[in-house]
Chains A and B, each alone.
Chain A
Amino acid sequence: MADEPVDAKGPEKDSDNKEDIKPKSKESTRPESKASSSSKTDEEKKTAPRVKSAKSKKDGKKTGGKGNTKSKPAEPKEESTEKDGGGQDSMIPLFISSKSQEIFQCVADEHVTEDNPHKLIPKDAIIQDMRERAAVSDFHPVKQLILDYPGDEILLIYDADFKYGQNFVLVSSDEEKQRILNPVVEQAEDGSPTGEEGEAVEEIDPVVYQYVPPEPKEWVSLGSEKEIEEASWKETEQKIRITIRRARREFGGALSFSDRNADDAKDGYIECVPFEDKSFSLKIMELDKDVQAVSTYTDQGSQTVWKHPCNKYTQYAPRELTEAEQKNLLSSETLYNFLDRVTPRFELALQQNDIMDVFRDDWKELGNEDDTFGSKSDNHLKEYQSFTDLQFSRDKVLTCIAWHPSIKGIIAVSCAEKMTYDERVDNSSRIIMTQSLILIWSFSDPIHPQILLEAPEDIVCFKFNPTDPNIIAGGCINGQIVLWDISKYVDRLKNTQRGKQSKKNAMLNVPGFEDDSSDKTPVVRYCASAAIESGHRNAVADIQWLPDHMEVNRFGLMVENRNLQSCQLLTASVDGTIGIWDTRPSKSQSQTADDGKEDNPLGVATTFKHLDLTWKPIIKIHMSRLEGSGDYGPVRVSFQERQGDRHLLEKMQKEGSAGKSSIDRKDSNMGGGFGIRSGSAKEKRQLEGATTKFFVGTEDGELIYADLKLEKDPDSGKLVPPRADFVKSFHDRAINTLQRSPFFKDIVLVVGGWNFSIWKEGRESNPLLISAAASKQFTCGFWSPTRPAVFYLGTAEGNIEVWDLLDRTHEASLSQNISASEITNVYPWHLSHKQQLLAVSDNVGTLHILEVPWTLRNLTHGELTSVTSYFDREDKRLEYQEQRESVHQENKRRLDAEEAAKKIAQPPEPSTEEVDNKMRTLWLEYLEDEKKFLLDLGLVEEKEEPLPDV
């Protein structure tokens, strides 16, 4: 870039130089101007301006000439201007007539031609002519010019083409004449003729230019050689020389061509692949342009004014009509008409709904039925497991079974000697020496029981505490009530549930360090027993934990239990009493619980230390007979309240003072609730809606309905239990089952002797259903936990009967033999959705666990409604029966009374006269009636009585 200014300067200087080189050469300039003019216009156009200019010159000359004629002093000026002005002014177009041409011997195309147009005419001759012919002379207009002309001869040029407007041109100056006639010399002498003049000369007389070679000048360096140097290319590398030789003999030799595969040799062929030659590819210049109309937009924002939020409520009182308005409307025609129109629609719709439920899904029911029919093989109870302990339970009566409430697969069973009372008396010494045990079995070990619970006497009945399953209460055959706490051993139960592997893998298996005790079944001694003097005097036949939401106070009233811990026991003993026991320490005993630890060699849990041997029932009710003296022997008790049924409590919570003390559910471990003192009765509200009435089943097969609430005895003023509401005797032997249906609070299954009955609480006359006497005794019964229509019965011959009330009520729908000896207990347990087990014990010491088939555990479609309606139907039947009975009795009484009255006073025989009279009056009455009727119908017209003739 730095060279550029130099480059720019160089050519200028060069061009200057060149001008310098040919400064006044006409050859170079003239052709240029000629070429330029010719290139600018075609010939016609070129001529026109020249003619014009010639004319203007002529005009100028004319005026000049005129001026000259008028004023001579202007001449020298004119001359000078002509001299200065050059050839153009001195060329004057002139018309010369043919006569003048002849005079001057310059006739066109004769003396002068186009090729040789010059004609020199002597000045004197012209002057002579002007004198002779005066104004007629052709030279008259230029008379003065000619007179002034310095030379002797005047040059006339023939203008054949009328380039200058006339047929001849007069050259008025001598110099011009010289130049035209001798142009070369002129050029050499005169270096500065104007282009116009030259042109004119050229055109008038084209001169052949001679080439004058330019004179070489000494070269002056202005820097252009450097550019040339730079632009030029020079070889710098040495050239490679290659010599190719060929042996002489190889020339002209025989050729032998052959075929070969092109792929054989490497580089055996060269492929000419077509490719795109970039140098030939044309670039298409494209210009992408698009136009889009965009609406003009603006950014705008607005914000509402923030207002302070304020909570406000508005409630309208509903609009209601006044009574007068209502009355008005009700008696208005419009409402009447409205109802008249509208009621048929409602009647139709209600009728439709009555006829059938359109939304019932029939397919669903079909599917269900298929299932029950399809799986006939799966209809029987299958033996799942059986437990018997050779040492402790063999040949003993299993008196009671209980499933562990929380740990799955744990079941406890109590054993007792199989002896009658007399045998027991005889063998009392031996019995005292043998342990009385409850065995707790786990499904994981069918050989060894997991825990043994030791009791002072044979256990007749026992129950796990529903809220704290580590507490077990049992009733002994001698009337004692005992409590166990197995919380220390509960891990054992939990471990076995998971399987024995974990135990075997433990450190204890290292040789020499085996802990024998770990495999040995622990024997848990009872930790409390009731005071002998205040306990039952005969075998405790039934023991129950009261549900955790309630407790019974000293007055036999049910009050709420806010701790939600079951802590009261209900016992029924054959000695004719029913007792309620509280496991919590009473106020006076609360301190004594602490001093336990010292003499405790057997490792007995101290949970119930405060109760041991001092425990008294809070209520003891004697079930005295309604007729005659003595007590009933209660063996089964049933209250309406059920464990886990919280709705009464919740209702109270709601109604109570807005959750004054919410239920604080304590973790049910380690007998947490048993240390808590029972609060004073005042704090506790009565459990509303809970009935204190209960059913009792007795030793002799009676069903008693009694009330727990103590009444004031009018005689003594003491609180005494009320007498039983009713006693019904439908069973021939001791009642062994008195159980409420898990689905209906008021439906009770009673089993005893050779039949069973189903009662509805509140319908005291008769049971809803009573079975016919069976061939063998029923020894136990239990409702199915999942199907409201199903219950299980055990028989004395070792059968389990499954009754389905919806299937048939006259016989068992399934009867299956389980054991060779008597069934003592049956206890179904709903393990999971897929498994339901039935524990069955017999009186030879075997505990059978049976699996309940699908059909017996799964609710069939609409079963609950069907069972409900079944019970309702039976209830209605009973109601009707009762009514009929009372009517019947009434009738009978009346008939009897009538009969008696008849017998006493026989009415005398009426006389014939009296009879006739009676008949006549009747006849007359009839006639009167008939007449009236006919008149009413308009069939007979009353005859108008004619007036009597005068």
Chain B
Amino acid sequence: MATLTKHLMGHGWKTLLHTNLQKSSEVEDALKRIQHMKDVHGTIIINAEGTPVKTTLDESTTLQYAALIHQLTATAKGTIREMDPQNDLTFLRIRSKKHEIMVSPEKGFMLIVVQNIAEEK
């Protein structure tokens, strides 16, 4: 019976019967999924104040990314909101020579993913 309900709920990991522990592990799983995609250099979750919550990079890099990207995203968000107060920034991609930095700010948190770019000569 239990297997059946799980089956019928579709996304098994989305059931409402989560304990906190399960959630935490699922957060990790989600991050791991992103982290294991091709060329992903690191993922960072920061909270609204720009303080890192979860990271796969080393500490100094994380702090730098957290502080700088947080500022940049705030600016970008401000730009979007100023142009249309009903609009909002959902996703920001920054392409550099070495990386592509993807940022998605949502209420309360911000996810940063740094992807390496195959260098071309």
Interface of A with B (CB < 8 Å)? 318-321, 326-327, 329-336, 338-343, 345-347, 349-351, 353-354, 357, 359-360, 859, 862-865
Contact = CB atoms under 8 A, between A and B. Distances in A.
Contacts of B33: 343, 347
A345 B103 CA distance: 10
B120 A338 contact: no
26 contacts: A321-B47, A321-B52, A326-B53, A327-B24, A329-B53, A330-B24, A330-B27, A336-B23, A336-B27, A338-B109, A339-B27, A339-B111, A341-B106, A342-B104, A343-B30, A346-B111, A347-B34, A349-B113, A350-B37, A350-B40, A350-B113, A350-B115, A353-B39, A353-B117, A859-B121, A865-B120
**Most-contacted residue by chain B among A326, A330, A333 (CB, 10 A):** A330
B102 A346 contact: yes
Contacts of B27: 330-331, 335-336, 339
Interface of B: 14, 20-21, 23-24, 26-28, 30-31, 33-34, 37-40, 45, 47, 49-54, 63, 66-67, 90-91, 93, 95, 100, 102, 104, 106-109, 111, 113, 115, 117-121
A329 B53 CA distance: 7
B108 A334 contact: yes
B51 A338 contact: no
B121 A863 contact: yes
A321 to B, nearest CB: 6
**Most-contacted residue by chain A among B27, B31, B91 (CB, 10 A):** B27
B106 A338 contact: yes
A839 B101 CA distance: 49
Contacts of A351: 37
10 closest A-B pairs by beta carbon, nearest first, are A331-B24, A331-B20, A338-B109, A342-B104, A864-B121, A318-B63, A350-B37, A339-B30, A330-B24, A345-B91
Contacts of A360: 120
Nearest to A937: B4
A334 B53 CA distance: 13
Nearest to B106: A338
Nearest to B49: A319
A743 to B, nearest CB: 10
B111 to A, nearest CB: 5
**Most-contacted residue by chain A among B28, B66, B108 (CB, 10 A):** B108
Contacts of A354: 37-39
A321 B120 contact: no
Given A336-B27, A357-B118, A350 B51 contact: no
A204 B49 CA distance: 126
Contact of A345 (B37, B50, B52, B104): B104
Contacts of A318: 51, 63, 66-67
A336 B30 CA distance: 9
A343 B34 contact: yes
Contact of A336 (B26, B34, B51, B119): B26
Contacts of A353: 39, 100, 115, 117
Given A350-B37, A864-B121, 10 more contacts: A321-B53, A338-B106, A339-B30, A339-B45, A345-B90, A346-B102, A349-B100, A349-B113, A357-B118, A865-B118
A388 to B, nearest CB: 41
A360 B104 CA distance: 25
Contacts of A333: 23
Contacts of A330: 24, 27-28, 53-54
A577 to B, nearest CB: 42
A335 B109 contact: yes
A485 to B, nearest CB: 41
B115 A321 contact: no
Contact of B108 (A320, A338, A864): A338
Contacts of A329: 47, 53
Contacts of A347: 33-34, 37
**Most-contacted residue by chain A among B23, B67, B115 (CB, 10 A):** B23
Contacts of B106: 338, 341-342
A353 to B, nearest CB: 6
A375 to B, nearest CB: 22
Nearest to A788: B121
A350 B41 CA distance: 12
Contacts of A332: 23
A318 to B, nearest CB: 5
Contacts of B109: 334-335, 338
A78 B31 CA distance: 147
Given A318-B63, A335-B45, A349-B93, A865 B21 contact: no
Nearest to B37: A350
Contacts of A320: 51-52, 63
Contacts of B51: 318-321
A319 B106 CA distance: 20
Contacts of B52: 320-321
B104 to A, nearest CB: 4
A862 B120 contact: yes
Nearest to A866: B121
B121 A338 contact: no
A623 B53 CA distance: 59
Contacts of A338: 106-109, 111
Nearest to A320: B51
B53 to A, nearest CB: 5
A350 B34 contact: yes
A326 B54 CA distance: 8
A347 B106 CA distance: 16
Nearest to A338: B109
A351 B121 CA distance: 23
Contact of B53 (A335, A349, A357): A335
Contact of A862 (B20, B30, B45, B121): B121
Contacts of B39: 353-354
Contacts of B120: 357, 360, 862, 865
A357 B27 CA distance: 29
A939 to B, nearest CB: 13
A90 B63 CA distance: 135
B99 to A, nearest CB: 11
Contacts of A864: 121
Nearest to B45: A335
Contacts of B115: 350, 353
B37 to A, nearest CB: 5
Nearest to A348: B91
Nearest to A343: B30
A323 to B, nearest CB: 11
A360 B121 CA distance: 11
A360 B100 CA distance: 14
Contacts of B53: 321, 326, 329-330, 335
Contacts of B21: 331
**Most-contacted residue by chain A among B28, B50, B54 (CB, 10 A):** B54
A871 to B, nearest CB: 15
Given A336-B23, A354-B37, A357-B118, A346 B113 contact: yes
A434 to B, nearest CB: 51
**Most-contacted residue by chain B among A350, A353, A360, A859 (CB, 10 A):** A353
A559 B54 CA distance: 43
Contacts of B119: 865
**Most-contacted residue by chain A among B28, B67, B104, B117 (CB, 10 A):** B104
Contacts of B67: 318
Nearest to B100: A353
A568 B93 CA distance: 53
Given A319-B49, A321-B52, A350 B111 contact: no
Contacts of A339: 27, 30-31, 45, 111
Contacts of A331: 20-21, 23-24, 27
B88 to A, nearest CB: 13
A334 B28 CA distance: 14
**Most-contacted residue by chain A among B14, B24, B63, B90 (CB, 10 A):** B24
A350 B38 contact: yes
A862 B118 CA distance: 11
A104 to B, nearest CB: 125
**Most-contacted residue by chain A among B39, B54, B118, B120 (CB, 10 A):** B120
